[in-house]
Amino acid sequence: MADAPLRVEDRGDGVVLLTLDRPDRRNALSSELRGLLADTLGRLAADDDCRAVVLTGAGSTFCAGFDLGEIAEAESLEELFAEAEAYHHAVHAFPKPLVAAVGGPAVAGGMDLALMCDLRLAHAGATFGQPQVRAGIPAAYDLVRTVVPEPVARDLCLTGRVIDAAEALRVGLANRVVDGDDLLEQALELAALIAASPGAEAAKRRFIDAQPGLFA
């Protein structure tokens, strides 16, 4: 489907590239995109040829979070939140290594998506934050604290402060910062290295088992 908001590419060596493809909406997570992402990960989980996945965003933004326009127009917030919970579970419980290539802002639900990946490579111009708290929308504290030290998680979730890539690296939110234009290339190389490791999938399952209450 040419207009689908998620591009799926087999990059060989056991690596699949997923691209959030709504650049005109800063790759906001619409219900359609969340559903496609959950369904695609479900299919890849059962695909023995897929051993690692790279997730990135089209354009200059990784992901701006949930589509606020869609939320404002929702007839049933209860149904929307139930669907969102299923999406979070599908991403968090994906049994194969996930690498995020964060080329720009990853905020609110976009930061959550990056945090649900196992590794995060960030462009030097990338930013991370939970700014939705300033509008009264709770931050994903339980998720944030699985990645960064608790004092940092409290800081980000209470203040809504947006941090740059250098600080993200310093506090452990980013695993690597890439200065040049080869962010995606480096992410794909890392994923190929992981895909070649016989023990990577078993390690990923241990990661999931260590967080039993998260998006259960």
Superfamily of domain 6-209: 2-enoyl-CoA Hydratase; Chain A, domain 1 (3.90.226.10)
Quickly state the pLDDT bin for 2 (edges 50, 70, 90): low
* 145-176 pLDDT per residue, tens: 999 999 999 999 999 999 999 999 999 999 99
27, 20 contact by CB (below 8 A): yes
Phi then psi dihedrals of residue 57, to 5 deg = -120, 145
> Domain locations in the chain?
6-209
Output the six-digit token pair for 175. 């695993």
**Residue 144 in this model has a pLDDT that exceeds 60:** yes
- In the block, which residue shows the tokens 């940092």? 152
> According to the model, what pLDDT value does residue 146 have?
95
Run of H or E including 39: helix 31-45
> According to the model, what pLDDT value does residue 216 have?
55
Read off the pLDDT of each residue in 16-21 and give the average, rounded to a whole number. 98
> According to the model, what pLDDT value does residue 71 have?
73
Read off the pLDDT of each residue in 11-23 and give the average, rounded to a whole number. 98
Read off the pLDDT of each residue in 175-188 and give the average, rounded to a whole number. 97
Helix (H/G/I), strand (E/B), else coil: 140: coil
Read off the pLDDT of each residue in 105-113 and give the average, rounded to a whole number. 98
Residue 66 forms beta bridges with which residues?
A: 29
* End-to-end CA, the chain: 32
Read off the pLDDT of each residue in 184-197 and give the average, rounded to a whole number. 98
Average pLDDT, the chain: 94
